[in-house]
Structure formats: C-alpha cells, structure tokens
Amino acid sequence: MNNYIENAIKAIQERLPQTCTVEYKEVSKLNDVKKDGFIIHKAGSCVCPAFYLSEEEQYTISPEEFAERIVKAYEQQQKLGMIAFNTDNFSDLDWVRKNVIFEIVNKDRNTDNMSYIAIPDTNLAITYKVRVNRNAFIRIKDEHLAMWNIQAQDLLQNAIDNSVLMDKATFRSMNDVILDMLVQDYKESHFDQNISDDEIRNNLRGRMFNSFDEIYVLSTENYQSNASLLYPDLLNDIKRRLDESVYILPSSTHETLIVKESAAQDIGIDNLRDIVRSVNAEVVDAEDYLSDEIYYFDGQLKQVGDEPFDRVAI
C-alpha cells in the first residue's frame, strides 16, 4: 500500500461519522475481475459501498480532495436510501423471491462461487442478484442458496417476473442512442446557450448519416443489465416490429446489439463476429465483457458457429 492510499484512508475516515469505518481491500467483480477499492462499513448495515481510485486521480488530485469526493458520494447515497438495509430481509426467502432479478453473464469467466443457470450450447449463463434498495444489489452465491435450502432453478421465474417489472426493456435505434450522446456533449460544451434538447436534437439529426438505421440497442431503462434479451416474447416482438429475423451481438453486460438479417448479410456474418471480438478486445472493460459469439433469432435463439446453427434452449 503506497503513501497516497494510506493518506486517502486517513482523510476519508476523518470525514466519516463515528459509526463508519473505511478499509482498502480487493473487491470481486464480474468476469473474475479483481479491483482494489475503498470500502465503507456502517454499523448495522450489510451494504458496504466500494469506491475506486483511478490512475488519473492519483496523479492529479490530493488524497484529501479524493476523500472529499468519496465522502460526498457516500452521503448522497445515504440521502437516496441506497445504504440502509434490514439484514433480516435477506434471510427471508419470501422477501428474496419478491426482490430477486437476473442478468446474463459469461459462464466461463465467472467462477467465483457464483450461483448460475447455464444457457445450453452457449458460454452464457443466467445469474441472480437481489435488489436491496434503489441502486444496491447483493449477488446470489451458492452459500445463499444453501442457506435458503433451494436450487438456482427455484428462483428463475421470480427473477424473470421481477426483472420485467423493475428493469423495463428499452429498444432503440443506434442512431437515436448516438444522437442522445451528441446532445449531451453539445450541452456540456455550450452550457451558456439557452436551447432545448429537442432543438439540439433536430439540428444534429440533419447532419447525421443514417449508417446505423438497421442496427438497434436492446437494454434496460437504467442501462445496468442485458437481461432484457431473455424477457418473455420480447425477441418475437422485435422480429415482428422489424418484419424480419435478426442477428444478436452480445456487446456487453449492459446492452445487446440487434441487427436486421438483411443488414447482417450485407455486412457479412464473419465480419460481424470480427467486429464483436475486436470491440471486446479493445474497448469493453474486462468486467463488462459478455461473449465473442453472435446469435440468430428467427423464432428460436440459435448460436452462430463454424458448424450449422445449434438451437439454444432457454
């Protein structure tokens, strides 16, 4: 532990209430990624938020300035009700069933005692987490299933029903997603101009090429999950809306790209796979990685491989 970390721990502790303590330790993330973070413990709570120091921060701000940022973020979470949690709830299976949701992860890269249901013939799996308050979750592991005396499959329908209600699916064209990003960038660089989002959007839309008209982004309202890919009947609804079958590019744990079959054929299936693997290698963070494979949906979900399609049973 270097001097910066030691000084940051001291500065954070000095700014926290006496009921809180801070430690610096390794945190397990998705895809067996390990990150060192500042963990804040509050007496009586089992929800311990982690905060991370970027390399840029370590070289551009003092430990005291970093501590101010962390404590301010922690206090904001408390105001939003993101820290308080009744620990008795988690031992109550009925409460868990009402709050469990699911997400899709890479099966081969998540081996850290995580409870999951493998999706046959793929390297993907369904895993669970319990929403304990507005934006905090506890990931379900094998030890939790043992405590409740159940199997992973026993929570599946609860997780699907809750996810659909709590984390509503969004399906938007890639052009619209890019346009929203451009609007935000414009607002940040022209903060002194009194102009509405709609005006900015209309001005920018005319300058955009329509090169992404047949590519769509499937995610959820809070952009935290790719679970919507397995929401009941959703892929069928998308197929009907687009009036053709689709290729599925599992771009990250946050979203999935949907490409119309006609567009995919124009791009080339091998090219699509190369794009996915290139983006995963060069752009996607290790903890957000999902898969290098692509899939096809024509009423049934099938994995695209060197051999003929294999049906994926879900």
Separation in Å, CA 111 to CA 38, 123, 169, 230, 287: 24, 13, 28, 22, 13
Say what the pLDDT of residue 307 is.
Answer: 43
How much is the pLDDT for 89?
Answer: 80
Task: Give the pLDDT of residue 302.
Answer: 78
pLDDT tens digits, the chain, 314 residues: what are they? 789 999 999 999 999 999 999 999 999 888 989 999 999 998 877 778 899 998 888 889 999 999 999 999 998 887 766 555 666 788 899 999 999 999 999 988 887 767 889 887 778 899 999 987 666 788 899 999 999 999 999 999 999 999 999 889 999 888 777 776 666 666 667 665 677 767 766 666 665 555 567 889 999 987 678 899 999 999 999 999 999 999 999 888 988 999 999 999 988 999 999 989 998 998 899 999 999 999 999 988 877 864 433 434 44
Tokens representing residue 108 in the block: 């081969």
In the chain, where are the structural domains located? 3-79, 87-166, 169-311
pLDDT of residue 314: 42
Task: List Cβ<8 Å contacts ≥24 apart for 28-37.
Answer: 28/112, 29/287, 30/105, 30/109, 30/110, 30/253, 30/287, 30/288, 31/105, 31/106, 31/109, 31/110, 31/286, 31/287, 31/288, 31/289, 32/109, 32/110, 32/111, 32/112, 33/286, 33/287, 35/287
HSE on the CB side for 176, CA within 13 Å? Answer: 10
Instruction: Please say whether the beta carbons of 254 and 223 come within 8 A.
Output: yes
